[in-house]
Amino acid sequence: MINHTDLSAPIYRELKRMIMDGDLKPGEKIIQEKVAEQLGVSRTPMTKALQLLENEMLVESIPRRGFYVKVLNLKELIDVYDCREVLEGMAAGRLAEILTPDDAIKLDGCFKGYDLKDHIDPSAYFRSDELFHRLLIEMAGNVALNKIYFLGNIYGEVMKQGLLRPPQETLQEHWDIIQAIRNGDKAEAEKTARLHIARSKQVLINQIKTVDK
């Protein structure tokens, strides 16, 4: 049972965890009475928490039907990647200016041990990819950027999609970004990061073209 003076905050965090962990599935209706009973809270803070999650595109309110776990369509996903391209490009450029030796080691460690000629386990590579892109934002040291990226749930929506392109296609791109950051080349770091995201975004664009045919 949740015990907190502002109940909507812990309810928000718990519902978000349930969505991100898959306890609540995309498209599933959120039965407020059931979840409220499960968490030991009333409907009022539950509704407030759901409205916060709606702002993050994690749930959607359908008139006269209730709240559902949001399923982004391809157009919405492309919008997310538009934002991601700008924000991660900005982060990479900023990081090129302030990179510390410890941060450089962390970035290298994301993809150390992978070889383009060898078989790459997709699950392991996905975890490395997830860590790398999270570190880009976190190590840039920009509080506003961090809040936009994580509280705006750009990170969460991207992670739910998994790998849009195979490791053999993206591994060198990651190393190019890291090298530009290591070189302290702000313009090149931003350029390579944006290009990396743009190429993945093109996969989504191609899917829309296929659907529209």
Report pLDDT for 2.
42
Cβ atoms 139, 105 nearer than 8 A: no
* pTM for this predicted structure: 0.74
CB 159 within 8 A of CB 126: no
* In a shared domain, residues 53 and 105: no
Phi/psi of residue 185, nearest 5 degrees: -95, 95
Q: Do 63 and 94 fall into the same domain? A: no
Give the structural domain span for 33. 8-69
What is the per-residue pLDDT for 54?
84
Q: Please check whether residue 3 lies inside any domain of the structure.
A: no
Instruction: Say whether both 164 and 62 belong to one domain.
Output: no
Contact 68, 28 (CB under 8 A): yes
**Secondary structure string (H, E, C) spanning 103-133:** HHHHHHHHHCCCCCCCCCCHHHHHHHHHHHH
Signed CA dihedral, 40, 43, 45, 46: sign only: positive
Look at residue 1 and tell me if it is in a domain.
no
Per the domain annotation, does 170 fall within a domain?
yes
Residue 141 domain-assigned (yes or no): yes
Q: Which two tokens stand for residue 177?
A: 């970004």
pLDDT in 10s for each residue of the chain, 213 residues: 444 446 778 888 888 888 877 788 888 888 888 887 887 887 788 888 888 888 777 888 888 888 888 877 788 888 888 988 999 999 999 999 999 999 999 999 999 988 766 688 888 998 999 899 999 999 999 988 888 877 656 666 666 667 889 998 999 999 999 999 999 999 999 999 999 999 999 988 888 766 555
